[in-house]
Amino acid sequence: MPLTLEQIRENCADARALMKRAHAEKFAVGAFNLDNQETLIAVSRAAQKTNSPVLVEVSGGEVKAMGIDNVRDMVENYKDHYGIEMYINLDHSPTVEDAIRGIEAGYEFIHIDISHGKHDATPEEIIEGTRAIVQHAKLTGAIVESEPHYFSGGSNVHTEEIDYEEIKKSFSTPEGARSFVEATGIDTFAAAIGNLHGSYPTPKILDLELLQQVRSAIDCNISLHGGSGTPGHYFEEAAKIGVQKVNINSDMRKAYRTTLERVLEENKTQYAVVKLMDEVIAAVQAVVESKIALFNSAGKAKV
């Protein structure tokens, strides 16, 4: 059953309170990507076991596969079933229209990413589109996230090496972050400090000194995209510096697929695949729990 506008506003107010707690208590909230119902179950069980607040997120592909309203309904059902603090992030909305649909569907977190849909978007176009979503989000109180330029990588398991000289060209700067936040009025700034989407053959290297400079330059929330394949100590330090949100996708997908492949190979005569999913869910849940420990969010849920 769809949420009422009053319920959506209450959820968004709770989400804002969570971000304030994260800032004050120096923990980050994991934003875990949903591919299907099994990954939602895995995240829900991890949140329940660790008593951690969590975000689950979908972008264009998942929205197309599952439906923007269906995701809202499923998350609400599992949130109630497991008794957990859980919110939805609409990740990388490439257009104003897509982001508005997320706001009106009752998503508490909205990432408007104009450059994702148009890589050559001008700074003026990005600011204009972002400001439009900040304005529309006042309807529900949804938390709006954005960045001033295209973010590198792709949510997959990559075989190529990371070209740091290339991605450094799009690193955040303290001055650029402050200017973008002031121009748009966003709630969350997506920082680029060496993090990039996907996992790679070598571990990622984050510039924590730059992160500290960005944190000192802006008062709003900070998120880190592309958290997969990142050594854990970076997350521990980022939470202490003042990152409130970290996105995780590829590490979960890798655990899901490799476990499913093994289970299918071991059970060649079983065609009711749903009966084989317990190990797959457990593998994804273990990934989520490991991230929660690094983010220092265990025990921080308010239900």
Question: Could you list the active site residues?
Answer: 91
Query: Token digits for 209?
Result: 């000194």
- What is the C-alpha separation between 81 and 47, in angstroms, rounded? 12
Nearest-CA neighbor of 274 among 262, 260, 288, 286?
A: 260
Query: Phi/psi at 3 (nearest 5 deg)?
Result: -75, 150
- List the Cα angle 289/33/6 in 5-degree steps: 100
- Beta carbons of 185 and 207 less than 8 angstroms apart: no
Rounded CA separation 120/44 (Å):
38
Cα 24 from Cα 188, distance rounded (Å) = 15
H helices within 137-207, ranges in order?
164-167, 174-184
- The span from the CA of 126 to the CA of 191, in Å, is 16
Residue the block writes with tokens 């499913």:
260
The answer to whether 151 touches 172, Cβ cutoff 8 Å, is no
